[in-house]
Amino acid sequence: MFFRPLPWDYGVRNLWRRPGRSALTMLGLATVVFLVLLVTAFVRGLEATLAVSGDERVVLVHSLGASENIENSTMPGRSSGLLAASLRRIESRFGERYVSPELYLGSEVTTAGSSVPCKGLVRGVTLAAPLVRRQFQLQSGAWPSAGEVLVGRLAAAKLGRDPRELASGQTLHFEGRDWTVSGQFAAGGSALESELWCPVEDLQQAMKRQDLSLVAVTVTDAEGAVDLAEFCKERLDLEWQSTPETAYYAALQRHYGPVRAVAWLIVVLVAGAGVFAGLNTMYGAVVGRVRELAMLQTLGFSRRAIALSIVQEGTLLAAGGSLVAAAIALPLVSGAAVRFTMGAFNLRLDSTALIIGMLTGLAIGIVGSLPPAWRALRMPVVEALKAI
Amino acid sequence: MQVRHIVLPTFVLTIATVIGCGISTAPTTTTPTAAAPDARYVLAEEPADAQPVIAVRMASKDGDEVTITGRIGGDVDPWVKGRATFVIVDPSLHACSEREGDKCETPWDFCCDEIGHLNQSKATIKIVDDAGETIATDARELLGVKELQTVTIRGQAKRDEAGNLTVLGKGVYVKR
């Protein structure tokens, strides 16, 4: 060490000399870090939902040009049979081929607790859907029979309704008829968890439609996906297109890119505001202690040692504030459901988000203390000793 | 005073950093580059008896030997990634880029042509080996071709009940 630092306790004790100011500074820093954690959890949750939503062995076949808006896709009802009969590399078990015909749409859903309809995502499915959607887990109740609907774990959040309104036995109203909730399902945190699943034939009858939106196919290997693409190119009359499910969700990731960019911008701006708040407080602390700092220099402590002690104080306050913010955010933010256009997702306060929040807090503490510390270094000792 | 000196550069730096990160939403697809063509499948001379796509669709039957000519396109993505399969359209059709003032980013999909029966002007080309299996190399790599290029293919017609035409090609002449 090139200089003798001030005792560690000195910086710690200084924080207790002005408890009101220290507490307010820590509260301000905790607020900033809490906001950073909140926005980071939002971005991490959105990214995680879209990342787990694609299965690399699943290929979506839909009408040409509808890859970015599958709700608008329309295919004949016989499409799944045609695909199952035409292609070799499709997964099968006990003679059952993994080909899932689906009718997918956004619909106005009314729950028992409110007469105001809200936008929900409805998927008409067959028993092949759980074969293709491997993350599917029936959490409670039973697979829906005629007139019944199975609700995803986050469907209530997507609808903006109390989860009790979507409990088993409750009645939902959409597409002109009532549906009884038969149970709940999870899908590994994917976008499917925001949906309502009902038998595809029932949904077709309710909507007076005979077509499908898409056929989801599980292929045995990568060549199977190429087979599907080639089939779509050969059957030009059908005007179909195949999109690997991972590519579909990757496109959505790109679609939400600006949202993520804005969220990160907010993180930077909030952190920037935190730096200035910390800067202001530490300046105040230094200005009020000019004589004390000059006295320390007179006693033989170098300017660098004094500056280090000021940075230590700022860093301790920031670390304390960061811990308080994390302690509040973990039970309050982590796991909270958020609605967005293509479903709902849980805010994700994982280790990455926590590290970002903590590092931001520490950075605010250090960066906010440096200019006041620099000011302390520059002040002439004699002048400072005379300061009032 | 000092705070003012710090605030402005920090603010500018923050904004510059964020803008520098970019908010581009352009898709990042990996397009195989046109490499040196595989001589086994490329014809050195243009076949003299080539027929345009519409004529071959009208006249050919399943199993006929045909020589067909057309332009690569007819779809936003006329390729099958990882396989020597692509779509061509009748050479009488006009690409969007051949219209004055058109700024279409994918002129090879022929979406601007008012023909009204684009599907009846298309054919699928599959370059096959001696066993009749499609070559497992992207056509762009195998033949060194790209969208809107005119190609002539010698091969066997494969027809289905819906009227689709697939040509199982043995050799391709690429007009440079």
For B30-49, the pLDDT digits (tens) are 566 556 788 889 999 999 99
Which pLDDT score is estimated for B19?
A: 39
Interface probe for A, chosen from B83, B133, B138 (most Cβ of A below 10 Å), is B83
Nearest Cβ partner for A272 among B10, B24, B162: B10
What pTM, to 2 d.p., does this model score? 0.76
Distances (CA, A) of A57 to A24, A41, A83, B41: 54, 29, 16, 32
Distances (CA, A) of B45 to A384, B50, B86, B128, B141: 93, 12, 21, 20, 20
**CB under 8 Å to A305, separation ≥6 — which residues?**
A3, A4, A5, A6, A296
Pair A317, A19: CB distance under 8 Å = no
Tell if the CB–CB gap between A264 and B18 is shorter than 8 Å.
yes
Which residues of chain A make contact with B17, given a CB cutoff of 8 A? 268
Angle at CA of residue A61, ends B96 and A260, nearest 5°: 75
Two structure tokens written together for B56: 């071959």
Which pLDDT score is estimated for A199?
A: 97
Q: To the nearest whole angstrom, how far is the Cα of B16 from the nearest Cα of chain A?
A: 11
Which residues of chain A make contact with B10, given a CB cutoff of 8 A? 272, 275
> Looking at chain B, which residue has its C-alpha nearest residue A223?
B82
Tell if the CB–CB gap between A230 and B85 is shorter than 8 Å.
yes
Distance in angstroms between the alpha carbons of the first and the last residue of chain B: 68
Q: To the nearest whole angstrom, how far is the Cα of B84 from the nearest Cα of chain A?
A: 10
Please tell me whether residue A235 adopts helix, strand or coil conformation. coil
Q: To the nearest whole angstrom, how far is the Cα of A272 from the nearest Cα of chain B?
A: 8
pLDDT, chain B, mean: 82
Which residues of chain B make contact with A280, given a CB cutoff of 8 A? 3
Backbone Cα Rg of chain A:
30
Interface probe for B, chosen from A89, A233, A241, A276 (most Cβ of B below 10 Å), is A233
Tell if the CB–CB gap between B122 and A236 is shorter than 8 Å.
yes
DSSP H helical segments within chain A, as ranges? 8-17, 19-52, 79-86, 129-132, 155-159, 200-207, 222-234, 245-255, 257-287, 290-298, 303-332, 351-378, 381-386
Two structure tokens written together for A175: 């597409």
How many interface pairs between A and B have CB atoms less than 8 angstroms apart?
Answer: 76
Q: To the nearest whole angstrom, how far is the Cα of B109 from the nearest Cα of chain A?
A: 11
Q: Counting every residue, how long is chain B?
A: 176
Tell me how far apart the alpha carbons of residues A80 and A215 are, in angstroms, rounded to a whole number.
6
Which residues of chain B make contact with A269, given a CB cutoff of 8 A? 14
Quickly state the pLDDT bin for B8 (edges 50, 70, 90): very low
- Interface predicted TM-score (ipTM) of this complex, two decimals: 0.79
For B37-89, the pLDDT digits (tens) are 888 899 999 999 999 999 999 999 999 999 999 999 999 999 999 999 999 99
Q: What is the pLDDT along chain A (388 residues), one digit of tens a residue?
A: 577 888 888 888 888 888 888 888 889 889 989 999 999 999 888 888 887 778 999 999 999 988 878 889 999 999 999 999 999 999 999 989 999 999 999 999 999 888 899 999 999 999 999 999 999 999 999 999 999 999 999 999 999 999 999 999 999 999 999 999 999 999 998 889 999 999 999 999 999 999 999 999 999 999 999 999 999 999 999 999 999 999 998 888 888 889 888 988 988 888 888 778 777 777 776 777 788 888 888 888 888 888 888 889 889 989 999 999 999 999 999 888 888 777 788 899 999 999 999 998 898 888 888 888 787 777 788 887 877 6
Tell me how far apart the alpha carbons of residues B36 and B4 are, in angstroms, rounded to a whole number.
61
Tell if the CB–CB gap between A226 and B126 is shorter than 8 Å.
no
Tell if the CB–CB gap between A229 and B81 is shorter than 8 Å.
yes
> Looking at chain B, which residue has its C-alpha nearest residue A279?
B3
For B97-110, the pLDDT digits (tens) are 887 877 888 899 88
Which pLDDT score is estimated for B35?
A: 60
